[in-house]
Amino acid sequence: MILEKQKQVTFSPRPESFAGLMEMYEVNYIRLRLLCGDIRVLPDKSVSTLLSGGVPLQLEVLERSRHTSILLLTYLFDDEKRPDLKIQVYHDSRQADVISRSCRFSKKNIRVWESTQDSVLLCRWRLNRFLFKWVNYLYRQGHRF
């Protein structure tokens, strides 16, 4: 059990390949399950509030089907809701992918080492890396649905 927790903390996929991205999808699914439990039986809207008085977190199930669910994860600020991520969860393959944002590429924001890689792969990587870090942070803070 301790070794399993250490793996979760130290795991860090690299944006080198499509296979690495698929691994990120799998890890994001596992982390979402830690945060939410069984995603298929979540209520349409849930709010997680920390005892320490942190910002409430809302999880909304936008769509449900036999093999997929689409979730919206966001903080509930007073006037705005940000950041909000739309996440497609694939129950059969046990993967989760961010589908709500788009990446814009220009020569200014692609580093030299990235210029030889596929820009779509890098976009998917950035979006899902954010989910990877955010869900880990939320779990460590004590959020649960």
What residues contact residue 32 under an 8 Å CB cut-off, 6+ apart? 39, 71, 87, 89, 96, 135
Strand partners, 87: 71, 98
Within-domain flag for 2: no
In the block, tokens 């296979």 appear at 19
Of 93 and 122, the one with more pLDDT: 93
119: left (phi over 0), alpha (psi -120 to 50) or beta: alpha
Token look-up 């924001």 returns 109
Q: How many domains are there within the chain?
A: 1
What is the share, in percent, of the chain residues with pLDDT greater than 90? 47
Q: Where are the beta strands (DSSP E) in 78-122?
A: 84-90, 95-98
- Residue 23 clears pLDDT 60, i.e. is over it: yes
Does any domain span residue 105? Answer: no
Tell the residue number behind the tokens 């698929």, with chain if given.
22
Whether 16 has a pLDDT exceeding 70, the answer reads no
Question: Is 50 exposed, middle or buried, given 0-12, 13-18 or 19+ CB atoms closer than 10 A?
Answer: middle
Looking at the domain assignment, is residue 106 inside a domain? Answer: no
Contact 46, 58 (CB under 8 A): yes
CA distance 144 to 135: 10
d(CA 92, CA 106) in angstroms, rounded, equals 36
Answer whether residue 108 is part of any domain. Answer: no
When the pLDDT of each residue in the chain is averaged and rounded to a whole number, the result is 80
Residue at 21 is within a domain:
yes
Q: How does residue 7 score in pLDDT terms, banded at 50, 70 and 90?
A: very low
pLDDT in tens, 35-81: 999 999 999 999 998 878 788 899 999 999 999 999 999 888 877 65
Q: Is residue 57 part of a domain?
A: yes
Residues of the domain holding 45: 13-99+117-141
- Assess if residue 51 is contained within a domain: yes
Whether residue 23 lies inside any domain: the answer is yes
Distance CA 40, CA 69 (A): 7
Which pLDDT score, from 0 to 100, does residue 96 have?
96
Q: How much is the pLDDT for 109?
A: 47
pLDDT tens digits for range 98-113: 997 645 444 444 444 4
